[in-house]
Amino acid sequence: MKKYTTRQGDMWDLIAARVYPEAGGERQMTALIDANPKHREITVFPGGVVLDIPEVGVIIAPLLPPWKRG
């Protein structure tokens, strides 16, 4: 499993956007929180917290034409 070390001021949605740019970004925030239950009450992270980054599937937007779905 990959790891991510937080920077001062990181929030769940920002971390998800950074680590899952090809898989829906902020939409993967729930998967990230579920993989790190002991930190789920944190809203704004201090620097230096190590989080587990689970593998997730790529989200394909249903309204995109086939050639843009990757």
Indicate the helix (H) or strand (E) that contains 12.
helix 12-19
Rounded-to-integer distance, Cα 64 and Cα 5, Å: 33
Model pLDDT, residue 64 = 67
Higher pLDDT, 22 or 38: 38
Quick: pLDDT tens for 53-68.
Answer: 999 876 655 676 777 7
Can you name the residues that pair with 50 across neighbouring β-strands?
A: 5
Rounded-to-integer distance, Cα 52 and Cα 31, Å: 10
Higher pLDDT, 42 or 60: 42
pTM: 0.78
The residue to which tokens 């995109």 are assigned = 64
